[in-house]
Amino acid sequence: MGIGNTSQQWGWLSKTLHWLTAVLIFVQIPLGFYAESLKLSPLKMDIFVWHKSLGILVFLLLILRLLWRIKGTIPKTVGASLIQQYLAQAAHCLLYGLMVLLPISGWITSSAANIPIKLFWLIPLPALVGPDNALKSLAAEVHEISVFVLLAVLILHIGAALHHHLLLRDNTLKRMWF
Ligand code: HEM
Ligand code: HEM
């Protein structure tokens, strides 16, 4: 298996970035809800450092992924009809958009709340905006709505992958796997 994609097959870099991001997202969602549910405490602050650091990591991996995607080829979408191919591509676009919106809205929430971000307790990130209560509420709202849109799109995305694998029995899932 080569590093690059072909018109039929995903290369190992795209596969690794897809599955690494998937694992991070599946950790991020419960971690975010858990962090929010805690009362103000050192544990809450630690959980938020993890949540923010892993979320920024998703964003960094996404930049790499998009650069790699525009640089090389991508496998042709498999679909019973043109409409299904467009729907799959629309879902993928939405997922990419959410992987930008979630980290940026989270970052703006923290900055507007005047809470500095330190990646894994090591690397300080600059504030994106100054302290601003109204903006903080707005960004937190955008973050939360994005989570629910993400959950809905992921159900479709995973459902479609299983549909291809179990019912259509084509290689859509296999070619994304190692
Ligand atoms: C159990 C979980 C998942 C499964 C089974 C799965 C399966 C797949 C498969 C089979 C493809 C390839 C589609 C094709 O070749 O046409 C794909 C692509 C993609 N997946 Fe997932 N996925 C999962 C989780 C996720 C998550 C959590 C995200 C991000 C939030 C995600 C984002 C994407 C994106 C953006 C693409 C399009 C790749 C591109 O065209 O550049 N996936 N996924
Ligand atoms: C991959 C991306 C991310 C996902 C899937 C995610 C998911 C979540 C979830 C499920 C919650 C709890 C529900 C709610 O929104 O109130 C949450 C809350 C929160 N997240 Fe994220 N998050 C991500 C990235 C980030 C990043 C990068 C930051 C900051 C740098 C961040 C900061 C926050 C903050 C401050 C809250 C509490 C919001 C509030 O006060 O209402 N998140 N996140």
pLDDT of residue 81: 87
Ligand 2 proximity of 26 Cβ (cutoff 6 Å): no
Q: Is 28 within a domain?
A: yes
Percent of the chain with pLDDT over 70: 100
Q: Is 31 within a domain?
A: yes
* 141 CA from centroid of ligand 1 (Å): 26
Question: Which pLDDT tens digit goes with each residue over 115-167?
Answer: 999 999 999 999 999 999 999 999 999 999 999 999 999 999 999 999 999 99
Q: Is 24 within a domain?
A: yes
Ligand 2 proximity of 111 Cβ (cutoff 6 Å): no
Whether the pLDDT of residue 31 is over 90: the answer is yes
- Closest Cα to atom 37, ligand 1: which residue? 92
Whether the pLDDT of residue 66 is over 90: the answer is yes
Q: Is 60 within a domain?
A: yes
* 161 CA from centroid of ligand 1 (Å): 8
Q: How many domains does the chain have?
A: 1
Supply the CATH number for residue 119's domain.
Answer: 1.20.950
Arithmetic mean of pLDDT, 30-46: 98
The best mutation among 18, 62, 154, 162 to test binding of ligand 1, ranked by most ligand atoms within 8 Å of the C-beta, falls on 18
Q: Are 79 and 85 in contact (CB under 8 A)?
A: yes
- Closest Cα to atom 20, ligand 2: which residue? 106
Whether the pLDDT of residue 7 is over 80: the answer is yes
Domain that holds residue 169: 12-176
pLDDT of residue 79: 75
